[in-house]
Chain A
Amino acid sequence: VPRFPEGYFEVHLCSQCGDCQSVCPVEAIAVDTNGAYVIDESACIDCGACVDSCPQQAIFRSPASPHPYMCNLCGACVANCAAQALIWEEDR
Chain B
Amino acid sequence: MIDGYGGSILRVDLTTGSVKREPVTPELAHDWLGGRAWIAKYMYEELPAGVDPLSAANKVFVATGPLSGTLWPSSAKIVWGTKSPLTGGYIDSNMGGLIMAELKYAGLDMIIVEGASETPVYLCIEDDKVEVRDASSYWGKGSVETEYALKRDLREDFQIATIGTAGENLVKFACITHDVGRQAGRGGTAAVLGSKKLKAIAVRGTKPIPVANIEGLQKHTTSIIDYMKNKAYFPTFSKYGTTDVTDWCDSVGVIPVNNFQHAQYPKKDRINGKYMREQMYVRDKGCYACPLGCSTYTYSKKYDVYVEGPEYETIGLMGSNLGMDSIEEIAVLNADVDNLGMDSISSGSAVAFAMELYQRGILTKEDFGGLEMTWGNVHAARAFLRLIAARQGIGATFAEGALAAARIIGRDTEKYVVQVKGLDYSAYDTHAAPAMMLAYMTSDIGAQHTRAWAIVQDISMGRGSIEGKGQVVYDLQHLRPLMEVLGVCRFPWLEMKVDWEDYVTALNLVTGQHYTTEGLFAFSEKVWNLTRAFWTREVDGFGRAYDQPPARMFEPMPDGPTAGARVTQAMVDQLLDGYYQAYHWDQNGLPTAQRLREVGLGYVADDLVKRGRIPD
Contact = CB atoms under 8 A, between A and B. Distances in A.
B230 to A, nearest CB: 12
Interface string B496-509: 00000000000000
Given A62-B206, A84-B225, A1 B304 contact: yes
B468 interface: no
Given A2-B142, A2-B148, A4-B297, A82 B207 contact: no
A64 B222 CA distance: 26
A84 B207 contact: no
A76 B211 CA distance: 15
Nearest to B128: A63
A63 B127 contact: yes
Given A3-B306, A4-B297, A63-B207, A80 B221 contact: yes
A contact face: mostly helix, strand, loop, or mixed: loop
Contacts of B151: 5, 7
Interface string A3-44: 111010000000000000000000000000000000000000
A82 B305 contact: no
Contacts of B222: 79-80
A5 B221 CA distance: 29
A82 B73 CA distance: 7
B180 interface: yes
Nearest to B143: A2
Interface string A53-72: 00000000011100000000
B396 interface: no
Given A80-B221, A84-B229, A64 B208 contact: yes
B156 interface: yes
B160 to A, nearest CB: 11
A2 B306 contact: yes
A82 B335 CA distance: 29
B145 interface: yes
B207 A5 contact: no
A79 B305 CA distance: 38
B306 A4 contact: yes
A61 B493 CA distance: 37
Contacts of A7: 151, 156
Interface string B279-306: 0001000100111010001000000111
Interface string B305-326: 1101000000000000000000
Nearest to A80: B71
A36 to B, nearest CB: 19
A11 to B, nearest CB: 14
A3 B308 CA distance: 10
B498 to A, nearest CB: 13
Contacts of B306: 1-4
B144 A79 contact: no
A4 B127 CA distance: 27
Given A2-B142, A2-B145, A5-B180, A63 B218 contact: no
B180 A2 contact: yes
Interface residues of A, number: 15
A1 B291 contact: no
B562 interface: no
Contacts of B286: 82-83
Nearest to B214: A76
Nearest to A3: B306
Nearest to A4: B297
Contacts of A63: 127-128, 206-207
A1 B304 CA distance: 8
B218 A79 contact: yes
A83 B180 CA distance: 21
A1 B305 CA distance: 7
B536 interface: no
Interface-central residue, A2, A7, A76, by most chain B CB under 10 Å: A2
Contacts of A2: 142, 144-145, 148, 180, 306, 335, 339
Nearest to B290: A82
A3 B297 CA distance: 10
Nearest to B148: A2
A4 B151 CA distance: 13
B91 to A, nearest CB: 27
B572 to A, nearest CB: 43
Contacts of A79: 218, 222
A48 to B, nearest CB: 16
Contacts of B297: 4
B267 to A, nearest CB: 26
B127 A80 contact: no
Contact of B289 (A62, A76, A82, A84): A82
Contacts of B304: 1
Interface in B117-161: 127-128, 142, 144-145, 148, 151, 156
Contacts of B128: 63
B408 to A, nearest CB: 33
Contacts of B335: 2
A25 B71 CA distance: 37
Given A82-B225, A82-B291, A4 B206 contact: no
Contacts of B218: 76, 79-80
A83 to B, nearest CB: 6
Interface of A: 1-5, 7, 62-64, 76, 79-80, 82-84
25 contacts: A2-B144, A2-B148, A2-B180, A2-B306, A2-B339, A3-B306, A4-B308, A5-B151, A5-B179, A5-B180, A7-B151, A62-B207, A63-B127, A63-B128, A63-B207, A64-B206, A64-B207, A64-B208, A79-B218, A79-B222, A80-B218, A82-B286, A82-B290, A83-B291, A84-B229
Given A2-B180, A84-B229, 12 more contacts: A2-B148, A2-B306, A4-B282, A62-B207, A63-B127, A63-B206, A76-B218, A79-B222, A80-B218, A82-B286, A83-B290, A84-B225
Which 4 A-B pairs give the minimum distances between C-beta atoms?
A2-B144, A7-B156, A82-B291, A3-B306
Interface of B: 71, 73-74, 127-128, 142, 144-145, 148, 151, 156, 179-180, 206-208, 218, 221-222, 225, 229, 282, 286, 289-291, 293, 297, 304-306, 308, 335, 339
